[in-house]
């Protein structure tokens, strides 16, 4: 009767939530409330999580896996009495005194903006694209974890990961910024993390600054009346080139004032002469190419790798080559890990500013995440020695001059 007992737990949990809700919700705005406005995060843009506030607890609902996280304030009575670990509800006592993250899927940059790096005690890879995480790891303050060793991971108050297929344990919380379709929606996941540490005020402040800067840059790009360069995000895999149609990338092109390549079809087999002919023709209409081809060795991915994969002899009509606009987003790396999946997620305003410079070069803006492979730019390998601040401090977002 496993199903029945699971269902029973679920009903009990719902009942409890309803009860706690009933007793605390009414007074949130009242004078006796312990919940101050600055301690509440409102989710404005992201669609895959929601946060609800009571007086001594919070509930985060994760729309991707349907789980609810009941966050109980450590000084409340309910925290000492309540413990949930069902398929739908898990409880956590907050603020978390320590936690670990699956660094393959969780941008540690969120923690840096929130000033939470010193509570990060475990990571799943030593190739994190963050100087200060590397420094703490090197100093022995962060432990290396085996993703499937749940015994080891259970020593932390929470483990943040995003692999929906991986079986999860009681202290696992699913964090899925990459499930969102726009750059701002992804960045807003800083509020998810903030709720676990009672640092909503900081999370709100960072997100608001990032969003205002992003929207300002996008507004300027939108008001541009000049020619819109056509941009292709393309990747090569196993003999086939494909063009990205992912909403996230399209949004960046739109917001930076470009035109996305509208190809007839998405995949082109370079061994098929008809496909190759069509690919050749379509690429003659493109002004900017972003080559997303995966590689385990970004340092070794150069213009010649691109040309070899392209397999087209006559490149005379390719203006993205003659006009030197062939890019990759692996400018900042740590071996094979890209800061594109870390810092770029929490700071989309920097990515947007980069793209505006890529599309409409001024020569007086330093690009953060993209490298120009026609110009032979090579990736910067991030190391612990590049950590130039106190690891306990908060990292401020970089605001790009706008207007």
Ligand X SMILES: *[C@@H]1O[C@H](CO)[C@@H](O)[C@H](O)[C@H]1NC(C)=O
Laid out side by side, the sheet with 143-144 consists of: 143-144, 120-123, 99-101, 159-161, 172-174
Q: Please name which of 207, 180, 172 lies closest in space to residue 48, comparing C-alpha atoms.
A: 180
Closer by beta carbon to ligand X, 65 or else 143? 143
| Residue whose structure tokens are 């908060």 | 394
CB 349 within 8 A of CB 210: yes
With binding defined as CB under 6 A, does residue 381 bind ligand X?
A: no
With binding defined as CB under 6 A, does residue 394 bind ligand X?
A: no
Render the burial of 100-129: b for 16+ CB within 10 Å, e for the rest. Answer: bbbbbbbbbbbbbbbbbbbbbbbbbbeebb
With binding defined as CB under 6 A, does residue 28 bind ligand X?
A: no
Judged by CB under 6 A, how many residues of this single chain contact ligand X?
32
Closer by beta carbon to ligand X, 3 or else 223? 223
Positive or negative, the Cα torsion across 3, 5, 10, 15? positive
Among 5, 154, 208, 323, the residue binding ligand X under the rule CB under 6 A is: 323
With binding defined as CB under 6 A, does residue 266 bind ligand X?
A: no
* Beta-sheet pairing, 371-372 with 326-328: antiparallel
Closer by beta carbon to ligand X, 142 or else 184? 142
| Residue whose structure tokens are 């991707």 | 64
Closer by beta carbon to ligand X, 180 or else 339? 339
With binding defined as CB under 6 A, does residue 393 bind ligand X?
A: no
With binding defined as CB under 6 A, does residue 180 bind ligand X?
A: no
Closer by beta carbon to ligand X, 26 or else 38? 38
Alpha-carbon distance of 368 to 385, in angstroms, equals 18
116-135 residues near ligand X, rule: CB under 6 A? 121
Among 82, 125, 141, 157, the residue binding ligand X under the rule CB under 6 A is: 157
With binding defined as CB under 6 A, does residue 148 bind ligand X?
A: yes
With binding defined as CB under 6 A, does residue 272 bind ligand X?
A: yes
Q: What's phi and psi for 123, nearest 5 deg?
A: -130, 160
Positive or negative, the Cα torsion across 275, 277, 282, 288? positive
Tell me the per-residue interface mask from 200 to 239 with ligand X, x by CB under 6 A, - otherwise: -x------------------------------------xx
Q: What's phi and psi for 363, nearest 5 deg?
A: 80, -5
With binding defined as CB under 6 A, does residue 300 bind ligand X?
A: yes
With binding defined as CB under 6 A, does residue 155 bind ligand X?
A: yes
Q: Which residues bind ligand X (CB under 6 A)?
A: 36, 38-39, 74-75, 95, 97-98, 121, 146, 148-149, 155-157, 198, 201, 238-240, 269, 271-272, 287, 297, 300, 319, 323, 361, 364-366
């Amino acid at each position: 009767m496993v199903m029945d007992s699971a269902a029973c737990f679920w009903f009990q949990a719902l009942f409890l939530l309803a009860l706690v809700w009933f007793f605390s919700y009414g007074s949130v705005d009242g004078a006796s409330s312990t919940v101050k406005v600055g301690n509440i995060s409102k989710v404005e843009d992201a669609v895959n999580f929601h946060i609800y506030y009571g007086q001594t607890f919070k509930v985060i609902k994760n729309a991707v896996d349907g789980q609810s996280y009941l966050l109980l304030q450590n000084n409340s009575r309910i925290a000492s009495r309540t413990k949930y670990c069902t398929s739908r509800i898990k409880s956590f006592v907050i603020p978390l005194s320590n936690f670990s993250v699956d660094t393959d899927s969780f941008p540690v940059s969120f923690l840096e903006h929130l000033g939470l790096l010193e509570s990060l005690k475990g990571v799943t890879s030593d190739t994190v694209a963050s100087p200060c995480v590397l420094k703490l790891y090197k100093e022995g303050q962060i432990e290396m974890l085996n993703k499937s060793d749940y015994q080891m991971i259970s020593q932390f108050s929470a483990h943040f990961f995003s692999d929906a297929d991986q079986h999860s344990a009681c202290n696992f919380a699913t964090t899925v910024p990459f499930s969102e379709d726009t750059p701002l929606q992804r960045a807003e996941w800083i509020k998810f993390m903030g709720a676990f540490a009672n640092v909503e005020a900081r999370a709100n402040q960072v997100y608001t600054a990032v969003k205002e800067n992003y929207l300002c840059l996008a507004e300027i790009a939108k008001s541009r009346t000049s020619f819109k360069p056509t941009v292709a995000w393309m990747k090569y895999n196993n003999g086939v080139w494909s063009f990205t149609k992912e909403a996230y990338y399209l949004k960046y092109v739109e917001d930076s004032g470009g035109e996305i390549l509208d190809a007839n079809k998405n995949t082109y087999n370079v061994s098929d002469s008809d496909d190759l002919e069509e690919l050749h023709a379509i690429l003659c209409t493109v002004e900017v190419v972003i080559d997303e081809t995966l590689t385990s060795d970004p340092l070794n991915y150069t213009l010649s790798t691109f040309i070899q994969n392209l397999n087209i002899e006559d490149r005379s009509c390719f203006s993205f080559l003659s006009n030197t606009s062939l890019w990759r987003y692996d400018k900042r790396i740590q071996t094979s890990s890209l800061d594109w999946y870390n810092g770029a997620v929490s700071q989309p305003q920097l990515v947007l500013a980069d793209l505006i410079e890529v599309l409409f070069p001024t020569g007086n803006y330093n690009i953060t995440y993209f490298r120009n492979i026609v110009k032979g730019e090579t990736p910067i390998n991030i190391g612990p020695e590049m950590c130039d601040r106190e690891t306990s401090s908060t990292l401020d977002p970089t605001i790009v001059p706008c207007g």
